[in-house]
Amino acid sequence: MAPLVSIRNLRVEATTDAGRKLQIIRGVNLDVAEGEIVALIGESGSGKTTIAMTLLGHARPGCRIVGGEVRVDGADMVALGEHERAAIRGTKVAYVPQSAAAAFNPAMTIMAQVIEVTAIHKLMSADAARAKAIELFKALSLPEPETIGDRYPHQVSGGQLQRLAAAMALIGNPRVIIFDEPTTALDVTTQVEVLRAFKAVTARHGIAGVYVSHDLAVVAQIADRIVVLRHGEVQEVGTTEQILFAARHPYTRQLLAAFEPKRQDRAAEVAADRPVPLLEVRDLTAGYGPIKRDGTPAVAAVKSVSLSVERGKNLGIIGESGCGKSTLARAIAGIMPGYLGQVRFNGQEIAATAAERSREDLKQMQIVFQHADTALNPAKSVEDILGRPLTFYHGMDGRTRDKRIDQLLDMVHLPRLLRSRRPGELSGGQKQRVNFARALAADPKLIICDEITSALDTVVAAAIIELLRELQRELSLSYVFISHDLSVVEAICDEIVVMYRGERVEQLTPETLATPSHAYTQLLFASVPKLDPRWLESLPA
């Protein structure tokens, strides 16, 4: 029997802004059998989403399918006209987007959008469609299934929207569903629920799936087979077990290696005496909105948090989105309008806002932001970006500054040739290195890293972590490392503070990491996907 989906020698071409054409998918072959879930895995730019989109006969603006065929249930999506493609979309092939929050139309109710497929393809009456949608909401264990459809997208949470997007895909009884990184934007605790709902629903209806992800552990829970992609080419195909436990291709092994626990043995370096901590935060409360009479902000994102960082040690702060970890980082760095409580650096209390802090205080403590894309001025070259703090903090110019810029680039392992480039001409990993080098330019003692690896692929992120460790050894730095990703924090931190709803829940050392005492920490740790295909089932419901 012919497979449900068969892609043969697919080639997709992209036109760059400069007008240059390049092949981003180079001769990919792929089969998906009836009811089978195949994962496409690879780092960003590997072409996994582009391939998945071709199943719908769609190429994003700037891309064009230039060769090969994509057969879905016999029909070649490449050869079909726009009308025939539209007839297949939503009925035979459906799509679950990466960010449901962006994929729902803000001006329409959820129900109108969920049942739109049935109206477009005239599948059933509106009442029948509504009844079916409510059934699906129940099957996807959404709260208040009867009424949730009457709300607007901004009135439900991200995890619920993602499941509603699945309902939207299921309503037309498709044969194949494309899952485009559907859980990447979610917290680990929410991700578990969403994955479970997807798995149950596809299994019950015998729907085939193409699951696009960069996260092997997530894919391991849901896929029957895994296709490893890189630079638009298939590197390795195998069953989930084969890929996880008997990978043949070096690139697959590299991806797997990024998952191995990198917990380091740092206990030997413990200082004998306990001198004044480098950074001490006492009862810090910060937030947004107008300040109330008692001095607290209207919305307190961080409530009375205390912590300390020893010299040469790293503190991790972990928690899901909205727990206040970034607000805490910004308050410590002095870029919030103010806060209650105390921040002491080297035993000295420092002012609440960066504007009031001395240049010396500012120099000692630097912050690196998550998105290098937005943190670096796109109009400045790398040397301007690095040169400015050198002039500002150290009054350097001319040859001394030039030399120092070269040294900084060496430190973050970037070729000196890049110094005249602008951020737009660098890769994501390179940008984050420049971003980090800019913080190093001040010669700080402490660097606050706010989710600096979250926007990077696993392999690139692992390299950045390695770099941080190396720099720490050479420059005796301390890091405050903020992340929602436990494995990253574990890899580099001596102590970990767990935050939940603005409060410090627990502080863990490497010894107590395996046995957290607080219920929320236990849930958080248990929700991190493991490279074990049976992990999801093994979780208590």
Partner 1 sequence: MNKRILSLAANRLAIALITLVIVSFAVFFATTLLPGDTATILLGQSATPEAVAGLRTAMHLDDPAILRFLHWLMGLAQGDLGTSYANNMPVAALIGGRFVNTLKLAAITAAIAVPLALTLGITAAMWRGSVYDRAVTILTIGIISVPEFMIATSAVLIFAVYLKWLPALSFTNEVSTFYDILRVYAMPVLTLTFVVSAQMIRMTRAAVVETLSTPYVEMALLKGASRPRLVLRHALPNALGPIVNAVALSLSYLLGGVIIVETIFNYPGIAKLMVDAVATRDLPLIQTCAMIFCLGYLTLITLADILAILSNPRLR
- The answer to whether 117 contacts partner 1 (rule: CB under 8 A) is yes
Residue closer to partner 1 by CB (options 5, 446) is 5
- In the complex, what is the shortest distance from the CB of residue 103 to partner 1, in angstroms, rounded to a whole number? 4
Token pair in block for residue 472: 């720490």
- The answer to whether 485 contacts partner 1 (rule: CB under 8 A) is no
- The answer to whether 86 contacts partner 1 (rule: CB under 8 A) is yes
Best CA proximity match to 48, nearest among 17, 85, 9, 12: 12
Which stretch, 69-77, 116-124, 213-221, 372-380, contacts partner 1 (CB under 8 A)?
116-124
Residues 6 or more apart whose Cβ sits within 8 Å of residue 270: none
Give me the sheet containing 37-41, strands edge to edge: 93-96, 176-180, 208-213, 37-41, 225-230, 233-239
How many CB atoms neighbour CB 538 within 10 A?
9
Tell the burial category of 95 from Cβ atoms under 10 Å away from its Cβ (0-12, 13-18, 19+).
Answer: buried
- In the complex, what is the shortest distance from the CB of residue 180 to partner 1, in angstroms, rounded to a whole number? 10
- The answer to whether 124 contacts partner 1 (rule: CB under 8 A) is no
Token pair in block for residue 435: 């971003």
Place of tokens 């696993």: 458
Token pair in block for residue 416: 């000196």
- In the complex, what is the shortest distance from the CB of residue 122 to partner 1, in angstroms, rounded to a whole number? 11
- The answer to whether 95 contacts partner 1 (rule: CB under 8 A) is yes
- In the complex, what is the shortest distance from the CB of residue 98 to partner 1, in angstroms, rounded to a whole number? 8
- The answer to whether 108 contacts partner 1 (rule: CB under 8 A) is yes
Token pair in block for residue 493: 């931190």
Secondary element (H or E) of residue 37: strand 37-41
- In the complex, what is the shortest distance from the CB of residue 77 to partner 1, in angstroms, rounded to a whole number? 12
Token pair in block for residue 382: 């790398």
Query: Buried (b) or exposed (e) across 398-433, using 16+ Cβ within 10 A?
Result: eeebeebbeebbebbebeeebbeeebeebebbbbbb
- Which of 42, 97, 209, 277 touches partner 1 (CB under 8 A)? 97
- In the complex, what is the shortest distance from the CB of residue 33 to partner 1, in angstroms, rounded to a whole number? 23
- Helix 428-440, helix 382-394: angle, nearest 10: 10
Residue closer to partner 1 by CB (options 59, 508) is 59
How far apart are alpha carbons 44 and 22 in whole angstroms? 16
Residue closer to partner 1 by CB (options 208, 305) is 208
Which stretch, 56-64, 351-359, 423-431, 481-489, contacts partner 1 (CB under 8 A)?
56-64
- The answer to whether 237 contacts partner 1 (rule: CB under 8 A) is no
Count of residues touching partner 1 (by CB under 8 A): 28
DSSP 8-state symbol, 89: B
Residue closer to partner 1 by CB (options 33, 120) is 120
- In the complex, what is the shortest distance from the CB of residue 128 to partner 1, in angstroms, rounded to a whole number? 18
Which stretch, 34-42, 92-100, 199-207, 281-289, contacts partner 1 (CB under 8 A)?
92-100
- In the complex, what is the shortest distance from the CB of residue 154 to partner 1, in angstroms, rounded to a whole number? 5
- The answer to whether 481 contacts partner 1 (rule: CB under 8 A) is no
Which stretch, 71-79, 100-108, 298-306, 501-509, contacts partner 1 (CB under 8 A)?
100-108
Give a three-class secondary structure readout of 458-496: HHHHHHHHHHHHHHHHHHCCEEEEEECCHHHHHHHCCEE
- In the complex, what is the shortest distance from the CB of residue 151 to partner 1, in angstroms, rounded to a whole number? 9
Are 11 and 26 in contact by the 8 Å Cβ rule? The answer is yes
Best CA proximity match to 14, nearest among 49, 43, 38: 49
- The answer to whether 89 contacts partner 1 (rule: CB under 8 A) is yes
- In the complex, what is the shortest distance from the CB of residue 153 to partner 1, in angstroms, rounded to a whole number? 9
Are 236 and 255 in contact by the 8 Å Cβ rule? The answer is no
- In the complex, what is the shortest distance from the CB of residue 86 to partner 1, in angstroms, rounded to a whole number? 5
Residue closer to partner 1 by CB (options 176, 385) is 176
- The answer to whether 88 contacts partner 1 (rule: CB under 8 A) is yes
Best CA proximity match to 104, nearest among 177, 172, 169: 169
- Which of 19, 106, 398, 415 touches partner 1 (CB under 8 A)? 106
Residues 6 or more apart whose Cβ sits within 8 Å of residue 86: none
- The answer to whether 209 contacts partner 1 (rule: CB under 8 A) is no
- In the complex, what is the shortest distance from the CB of residue 446 to partner 1, in angstroms, rounded to a whole number? 39
- The answer to whether 107 contacts partner 1 (rule: CB under 8 A) is yes
- The answer to whether 44 contacts partner 1 (rule: CB under 8 A) is no
- In the complex, what is the shortest distance from the CB of residue 123 to partner 1, in angstroms, rounded to a whole number? 11
- The answer to whether 87 contacts partner 1 (rule: CB under 8 A) is yes
DSSP codes joined into one string, 246-269:
S--SHHHHHHHHTTS------GGG
- The answer to whether 120 contacts partner 1 (rule: CB under 8 A) is yes
- The answer to whether 103 contacts partner 1 (rule: CB under 8 A) is yes
Strand partners, 305: 284
- The answer to whether 179 contacts partner 1 (rule: CB under 8 A) is no
How many CB atoms neighbour CB 392 within 10 A?
14
- The answer to whether 91 contacts partner 1 (rule: CB under 8 A) is yes
Residue closer to partner 1 by CB (options 105, 374) is 105
Are 59 and 29 in contact by the 8 Å Cβ rule? The answer is no
- In the complex, what is the shortest distance from the CB of residue 268 to partner 1, in angstroms, rounded to a whole number? 50
Largest CA distance in the chain: 76
Which residues inside 144-173 make contact with partner 1, applying CB under 8 A? 152, 154, 168
- The answer to whether 121 contacts partner 1 (rule: CB under 8 A) is yes
Binding site for partner 1 (CB under 8 A): 56, 58, 60-61, 86-91, 94-95, 97, 99, 102-108, 116-117, 120-121, 152, 154, 168
